[in-house]
Each structure stands twice: as C-alpha cells, then as structure tokens.
C-alpha cells in the first residue's frame, strides 16, 4: 500500500512539473491602413487574421491555427518550451513571420501590426457618422436639351406651384452621351431650366423646395462658389463663363466665352484663380484670374510635350491642393486613365501617373492624398501625390463618377452611378466605412460647408436627394422633372 502511494505521489509531482513547464503565446493584431507613410494614418483591430503556429524541431507538438474575431486577440495555451514559427496573414496585407523562443512556464505577449500591400483593393465595412447641425442655401443645375418650353411637372400639386411655377423642363442631351462628358461636381447646386434659363436656389431648411431663381442666358451645367462666397461661377454647355453676385440678388456681373468648339467638363476654384477643363478637339485647361474675372493662362494638353505622347485624351475632373500650389486633373478615355499634376500658378505639367480606365471625379483633402474615380474599373485610386505613386484602390460600387471631400477633411464621398449608392471613405483609416443608398443614377454631389447634409444629383430618377449625414440616409428629394436631369451642386455658407 505504501509503495502504491509512493508511486502515485511521484506521478503527481511529475505531472505538476510538466504542466508547470508549459507556456502560452498570446497577443493582439492590428491592421495599419496608412498604405504608405504620410498617406492616411491610424490602425484598426485585426479581424479575420489567420495565425498559424508551428513548433520547430526538436520542439514537440503539432501545428495550430487561430483566426481573430472582433477582439483582435489570440492565444495558444499549454505549449511545451522551445522554438516556434508564427505566420500572421490576411488578404491585402503583407504577411508577417515571427520566430519565438518560449521558455518553460513563460507567457509570451506578441502584439503585431500588419501593413497593407502597396496596391490593393482595400477593406470595406459599415459604420455611422455624427455631425453638428447647420443650414443654408443650395444651388442645383438641371441643364435642358432645347430652349422650347417644357412645363410644370405632373407631380407638382397646387401647394407646390408657388415654388415651382418658374421651372420649365427640357431634356439633357448628355444623359445618353459618352460618360466621359460627366465629371466631378462642385460643392453646391444650381437648377437650370430651359425656357427661362436660370439658376434655381433651394433652402436647406425646406429641402426639396425651390425658393428663388437667378437668370442666365444658357444651359448651365457647372457651378462653383469662390471661397469667400461673394461670387458664384457658372459654365454652360457652350463654354460661356458667368460671374454671379449672390449678394446682389444673384445678378450676372460678367459673362464671356471660353471656347467656341469645346464643352466644359469641370471647374474648381482656388484662392486667386478659377480653373476650367475643356473637352473637345483641342482639350485644354484654362486659368482665370478671380480678381479680374478674365482668363490669364491656358495649357493645350495635346500639344504639351509631356502629354502629347499620350494622344488626344480628354480632361475630366479637377481638384486643387489646399495650399493652392498643385492642380490635379483626371485625364483619359474609355480604356486609358491618368492623373496629371500641374503647377497651379504656371500650369506646367509636373507629374503623370497611370490610374484606372476613364477617370472622372478627382478630389484631395490635403494635397497629399488624391482620390480618383475610375468609372470603367469600378474603383477609386488612392494616390500619394508627394511621391507620385498609386498606393491603393478601393472597390466601390458600379460606375463611380464623382468625388467630394467633407469640410472636416475626414471623409470622402464617391457617387456610384451604376449601383445607386454613395460610398464614404474614411481618410484616416483608408477604409470605405459606409454605403448610402440613393435614388437611381447618383452623379454630382454638393455638401453643406458645415458638414450636415449631402446633396446628390440622381440622373436616372431626375431629382436631387438630400442625405442626412448623421444617419447616412436620404431624408428628402426634389420633385422629379419630366425631361430634365440635375447637374452641378454647390452650397453657400
């Protein structure tokens, strides 16, 4: 009996000794979405990371695998002491391979950050956003096909007549034209109607109701405020340039022609200059002095030594860096795409970068990150403008066309014309964090300078959706036009 008790005691002590020697490896995984130094920043929990732990001979044991969940943590327990090889991997991120020495009874803490591949389709997820409320005026453009009178839309009741009576409806020829003629919208909206030829104004307090008009002579399709909001610039399809004073009852203060053979594709306003891209047989970028409201310089892209080798492609979208030093131009056709970087003061071509096919909208929150909507590739390129490299591509909805930046510079909005959504990109994490459902054919967008509401021109449904950014949901729409298609949007602060 004593002998049995002795052997039991020895076995127990041996078991305790063995278990005392077993160790653990645990830790957390984070995903770095900065893509490249200086472009984006911040990390996010590493969900869905595969961790493969393999003992290295002569360490005993079998390989083990762990997949991280929302906690982004992992643990391997009851491990014999020895050498281990740990491989951490997740699609679109660079794998990490670690060699770990585990001492007897040790708990080894391993915290890892995975970096993304240089060019990748970036992750998507859905979260909400929150802003402080604000309100002001919205301008919306509805270019018409002809100057023949249209009529009050059939959906307008007697209660709408006071707001809608001046609005006539025509048909937009570009609705069925080559999509390269559609480009990024500005930050405000104008409503243009064929019979009266005017810009209509909607108060954000009564979204969906047109409250006033500003008469012009042509079918305006582009509009943008000066940063001071003292001037509103507009362009019609005949390349007539309008200077409008909102403070003088929206009076047209100046008008002149930019071309007799080209169609304006986009307009962006810096502190001292207005830039216009013209599409046609002689594609060019024009620079207009905003103090004189008259052109002062131009670059003909097909003749420029740096761009002539690309062929007669067309400029689509424009964006200017916040320091007003660089002008970014999306440039291409159905099967080609480039981002041009120009000196904003001289229009000298500084860089040329290949992006996706048929790039349309382009935007930059800080002059370093540049976002380009690749209409034919269903992607948005993220470009490091300092190093002139494409560092990632977001897989957005179908046919992304326009891009606009939130006033806080934290979010970028992409209208997906073919899938009826607006994708929201978080600039810091370089992730698509929301997809907002809209009416059919979202293209041009405008945003409240205070960040409360997003206005989306929906071509197929011929109306403008008003999106509440605190809920990422459409909360109002204009009355659909019979034969009109909404165009550029800008909001006055």
- Is residue 75 within 8 Å of residue 26, measured between CB atoms? yes
pLDDT value of residue 203: 63
Burial of 186 (0-12, 13-18, 19+ CB in 10 A): buried
69 lies in a domain? yes
Residue listed under structure tokens 């997003």:
454
Structural tokens at position 58: 């002569």
Q: How far apart are CA 421 and CA 194, in angstroms?
A: 29
**Are 88 and 173 found together in one domain?**
no
Q: How far apart are CA 78 and CA 75, in angstroms?
A: 10
**Are 432 and 351 found together in one domain?**
yes
CATH number at residue 183: 2.130.10.10
SS (H, E, C) the chain: CHHHHHHHHHHHHHHHHHHHHCEEEEEEEEEECCCECCECCCEEECCCCEEEEEECCCCCCCCEEEECCCCCEEEEEEECCEEEEEEEECCCECCEEEEEEECCCCEEEEEEEECECCCCEECECCCCCCCCCCCCEEEECCCCCCCCCCCCCCCCCHHHHHHHCCCCCCCCHHHHCCHHHCCCCCCEECEECCCCCEEEEEEHHHCCCEEEEEECCCCEEEEEECCCCCCEEEEECCCEEEEEEHHHCCEEEEEEECCCCCEEEEEEECCCEEEEEEECCCCEEEEEECCCCEEEEEEECCCCCCCHHHCCCEEEEEEECCCCCEEEEEEEECCEEEEEEEECCCCCEEEEEECCCCEEEEECCCCCEEEEEECCCCEEEEEECCCCEEEEEEECCCCEEEEEECCCCCEEEEEECCCCEEEEEECCCCEEEEEEECCCCEEEEEECCCCCEEEEEECCCCEEEEEECCCCEEEEECCCCCCCCCCCEEEEC
Number of domains in the chain: 2
Q: How far apart are CA 194 and CA 169, in angstroms?
A: 6
**Are 444 and 303 found together in one domain?**
yes
DSSP 133: -
**Are 203 and 311 found together in one domain?**
yes
Q: How far apart are CA 14 and CA 8, in angstroms?
A: 10
362 lies in a domain? yes
| Structural domain boundaries, residue 309 | 137-492
Q: How far apart are CA 465 and CA 53, in angstroms?
A: 52
Structural tokens at position 487: 């165009």
Q: How far apart are CA 353 and CA 308, in angstroms?
A: 14
Q: How far apart are CA 56 and CA 99, in angstroms?
A: 9
Structural tokens at position 326: 């660089």
**Are 26 and 141 found together in one domain?**
no
122 lies in a domain? no
**Are 112 and 142 found together in one domain?**
no
- Is residue 377 within 8 Å of residue 418, measured between CB atoms? no
Instruction: Render each residue's pLDDT in the chain as its tens digit; 493 residues.
Output: 555 555 555 555 545 555 568 999 999 998 775 544 333 344 677 888 889 999 999 999 888 888 888 788 999 999 999 999 999 988 777 889 999 999 999 999 999 988 876 543 333 322 222 222 233 345 544 444 333 233 223 222 222 322 222 222 222 222 222 222 222 222 223 333 333 455 656 666 655 555 555 666 677 778 888 888 888 888 888 888 989 887 787 788 888 888 888 889 999 999 999 999 998 888 999 999 998 888 899 999 988 989 988 888 899 999 999 999 999 999 998 889 999 999 999 999 999 999 999 999 999 998 999 999 999 889 999 999 999 999 989 988 889 999 999 988 889 999 999 889 999 998 888 889 899 999 888 998 888 877 888 888 888 887 888 888 888 888 887 766 544 567 777 777 6
**Are 97 and 243 found together in one domain?**
no
**Are 320 and 266 found together in one domain?**
yes
**Are 110 and 171 found together in one domain?**
no
DSSP 295: E
**Are 183 and 253 found together in one domain?**
yes
- Is residue 129 within 8 Å of residue 436, measured between CB atoms? no
**Are 97 and 150 found together in one domain?**
no
437 lies in a domain? yes
Helices (H) and strands (E) in the chain, counts: 2, 39
10 lies in a domain? no
Residue 38 backbone phi and psi in degrees, to 5? 90, -10
DSSP labels, 401-469 = EEEEE-TTSSEEEEEETTTTEEEEEETTTTEEEEEEE-SSSEEEEEE-TTSSEEEEEETTTTEEEEEET
Residue listed under structure tokens 């929206």:
250
235 lies in a domain? yes
Count of beta carbons in the 10 Å neighbourhood of residue 296: 11
Last residue of a domain, one of 116, 145, 161: 116
pLDDT value of residue 461: 80
**Are 93 and 154 found together in one domain?**
no
CATH number at residue 40: 2.60.40.10
121 lies in a domain? no
Q: How far apart are CA 48 and CA 69, in angstroms?
A: 6
Q: How far apart are CA 262 and CA 281, in angstroms?
A: 7
pTM: 0.64
Please list, in sequence order, all residues whose beta carbon lies within 8 angstroms of the beta carbon of residue 12, skipping any fewer than 6 positions away. Answer: none
Q: How far apart are CA 431 and CA 426, in angstroms?
A: 5
Structural tokens at position 156: 């307008």
74 lies in a domain? yes
């Amino acid at each position: 009996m004593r002998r049995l008790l002795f052997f039991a005691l020895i076995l127990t002590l041996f078991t305790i000794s063995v278990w005392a020697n077993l160790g653990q490896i645990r830790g957390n995984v984070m995903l770095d979405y900065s893509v490249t130094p200086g472009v984006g920043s911040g990390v996010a929990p590493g969900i869905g990371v595969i961790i493969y732990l393999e003992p290295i001979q002569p360490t005993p044991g079998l390989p083990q695998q762990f997949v991280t969940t929302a906690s982004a943590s992992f643990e391997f327990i009851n491990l014999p002491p020895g050498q281990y090889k740990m491989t951490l991997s997740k699609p679109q991120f660079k794998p990490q391979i670690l060699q770990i020495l585990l001492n007897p009874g040790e708990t080894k803490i391993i915290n890892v950050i995975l970096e993304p591949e240089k060019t990748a389709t970036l992750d998507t997820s859905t979260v909400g956003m929150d802003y402080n409320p604000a309100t002001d005026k919205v301008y919306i453009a509805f270019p018409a096909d002809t100057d023949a009178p249209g009529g009050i839309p059939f959906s307008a009741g007697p209660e709408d007549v006071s707001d809608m009576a001046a609005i006539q409806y025509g048909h937009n020829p570009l609705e069925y034209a080559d999509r390269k003629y559609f480009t990024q919208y500005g930050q405000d909206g104008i409503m243009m109607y064929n019979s009266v030829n005017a810009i209509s104004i909607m108060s954000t307090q009564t979204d969906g109701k047109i409250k006033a008009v500003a008469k012009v002579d042509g079918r305006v399709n582009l509009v943008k405020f000066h940063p001071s909001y003292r001037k509103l610039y507009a362009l019609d399809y005949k390349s007539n340039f309008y200077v409008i004073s909102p403070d003088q009852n929206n009076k047209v203060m100046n008008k002149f022609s930019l071309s007799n053979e080209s169609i304006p594709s986009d307009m962006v306003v810096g502190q001292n200059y207005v830039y216009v891209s013209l599409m046609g047989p002689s594609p060019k970028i024009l620079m207009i002095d905003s103090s004189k409201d008259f052109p002062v310089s131009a670059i003909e892209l097909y003749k420029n030594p740096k761009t002539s080798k690309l062929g007669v492609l067309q400029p689509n979208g424009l964006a200017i860096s916040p320091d007003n030093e660089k002008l970014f131009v999306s440039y291409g056709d159905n099967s080609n795409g480039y981002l041009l970087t120009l000196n904003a003061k001289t229009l000298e071509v500084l860089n040329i970068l290949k992006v996706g096919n048929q790039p349309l909208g382009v935007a930059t929150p800080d002059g370093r990150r540049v976002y380009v909507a690749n209409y034919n590739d269903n992607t948005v390129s993220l470009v490091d403008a300092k190093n002139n490299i494409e560092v990632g591509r977001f897989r957005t909805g179908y046919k992304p066309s326009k891009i606009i930046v939130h006033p806080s510079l934290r979010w970028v909005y992409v209208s997906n014309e073919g899938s009826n959504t607006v994708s929201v990109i978080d600039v810091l994490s370089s992730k698509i964090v929301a997809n907002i459902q809209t009416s059919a054919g979202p293209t041009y967008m405008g945003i409240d300078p205070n960040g409360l509401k997003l206005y989306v021109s929906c071509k197929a449904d011929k109306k403008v959706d008003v999106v509440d950014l605190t809920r990422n949901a459409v909360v109002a729409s204009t009355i659909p036009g019979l034969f009109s298609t909404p165009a550029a949007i800008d909001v006055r602060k």
